[in-house]
Structure 1
Amino acid sequence: MSDQKTDRRIIRTKRMIRDALTDLMEEKGLEGFTVKDLTEKADINRGTFYLHYQDKYDLLEKSENEIIEEMYEFLKEINPDLINQSGLQNEPLPFLVNLFENIEKNARFMKLILGPKGDPAFQVKLKQFMKINFLGKIMEKSNNESLSVPIEQLIAYVTSAHLGVIQQWLNSGMQQSPREMALTLLKITFYGPAHIAGIKKDLNF
């Protein structure tokens, strides 16, 4: 029980520090504040901060990695066959619903880190994560020889599109529910933007 209390205390402390980081980055940008500012904002002493992080850059990187690790927990159960089945049934995939719920839980930090005052390197890291853990698993089921475009360009297009959908949702105040967003992303992925936009004319390349 004591270990559980300690773990909860550590989680709560880290959340307070991340919230303080989010506040200060929104106000001043990463270069505009010090560790002292962080500890005052989070109402902790410097010793507590340095138990967990080396400096504010280490805090930012570890906070980003924690977000990605949480996402991995939802994406590691991907079954490519279920994606096709869900698309046909017009039902959102549970792992995508969970993914958007996680983004919603971390909305302030995610909106910040993906925005103009955030970390451009995080977008690269997130796209690479999506490429390996989401699209990589789906593409295992595909026949690369039958693709009409180079696979790397297809992956680049889809990862950028998915990230854009997430950013738009965050920036618009998350008016749709995680379930609605999971279904939207599934439809775009399954049917493609031309079909979704109602373009009926067949295109032959």
Structure 2
Amino acid sequence: MTNEKIDRRIVRTKRMIRDALTDLMEEKGFEAVTVRDLTEKADINRGTFYLHYRDKFDLLEQSEDELLAEIHEFIKETTTEDIVQANLRGEPLPFIVKLFEYIQENSRFMKLLLGPNGNPAFQVKLKEFMKQNFLRKLGSVANIDSRVPLDYLMAYVTSAHLGVIQQWLAEEMKQPPKEMALTLATITFFGPGFAAGIRKK
């Protein structure tokens, strides 16, 4: 069997286990989930589970890290030219559109992680991820000359981004990803005062 086939099989098996975790977390919450529950739900044996994960906590952490790695891949694919052209056309940044599309595709698991009973550690990890990757991407097209301490600016922006994502998930993603990306861009670049209609540009 080729390495490519083995890799595909591993990816498929891990996805089945993550889907089982999602189902079980929806049914009874993470704390009540057991490895036996997971293997039965995913229709695998315990040996297969322990081949990939130490326990359910390792499964959750690896699943979270895989989400961030997948998001990082499409952020890397967005070029400086993509961002410049989006700005010229008054369109939302392409990697933010892709972010909302990805969240929509993985909404059940994301909602569990980011909802009221979600994992606070993942929320901290996601904000740090946004801080590192979004700042670097935006810095590739514009010099950031912050009028306030940069750490506070990034704390504000990442918390705002997370809050918007959480609200979108809580409202069952009524608006399409592109519209959400445009909403986020309006708030981010023009400020909440402008977005609320309190002040002009």
| TM-score in terms of structure 1 length | 0.87
**Map 1:116-155 → 2, pairs under 5 A:** 116-139=116-139, 141-144=142-145, 147-155=146-154
Q: Does 1:57 align with 2:57?
A: yes
Post-superposition shift, 1:89? 2.4
Post-superposition shift, 1:7? 2.8
Q: Which moved more, 1:74-83 or 1:113-122?
A: 74-83
Cα distance in 1, alignment partners of residues 194 and 113 from structure 2: 32
Which string of whole-angstrom CA distances, capped at 9 and with x for unpartnered residues, describes residues 40-80 of structure 1?
Answer: 11111111111111110000000000000011112224556
**Map 1:154-169 → 2, pairs under 5 A:** 154-169=153-168
CA contact (8 A) 1:16 1:42 kept: yes
**CA distance 1:4–1:138, change in 2 (3 Å):** same
Unaligned 5+ segments in structure 2 are none
| TM-score in terms of structure 2 length | 0.88
**CA distance 1:201–1:105, change in 2 (3 Å):** closer
Cα distance in 1, alignment partners of residues 190 and 79 from structure 2: 18
Q: What's the % identity of the aligned pairs?
A: 66
Report SS of the residue matched to 1:168.
Answer: helix
Post-superposition shift, 1:16? 1.3
Q: How many residues align?
A: 200
Post-superposition shift, 1:143? 4.5
Note the aligned Cα RMSD (angstroms): 2.2
For 1:175, the equivalent position in structure 2 comes to 174
CA contact (8 A) 1:87 1:190 kept: no
Post-superposition shift, 1:85? 5.3
**CA distance 1:143–1:5, change in 2 (3 Å):** closer
Where relative contact order (Cα < 8 A, 6+ residues apart) is larger, the structure is: 1
Q: Name the amino acid aligned to 1:165.
A: V
Q: Does 1:17 align with 2:17?
A: yes
Cα distance in 2, alignment partners of residues 78 and 92 from structure 1: 13
CA contact (8 A) 2:17 2:38 kept: yes
CA contact (8 A) 2:78 2:94 kept: no
Cα distance in 1, alignment partners of residues 3 and 82 from structure 2: 39
CA contact (8 A) 1:25 1:117 kept: no
Which string of whole-angstrom CA distances, capped at 9 and with x for unpartnered residues, describes residues 77-126 of structure 1?
Answer: 45567646534522122222222211111111000011133211000000
For 1:197, the equivalent position in structure 2 comes to 196
Cα distance in 1, alignment partners of residues 62 and 27 from structure 2: 21
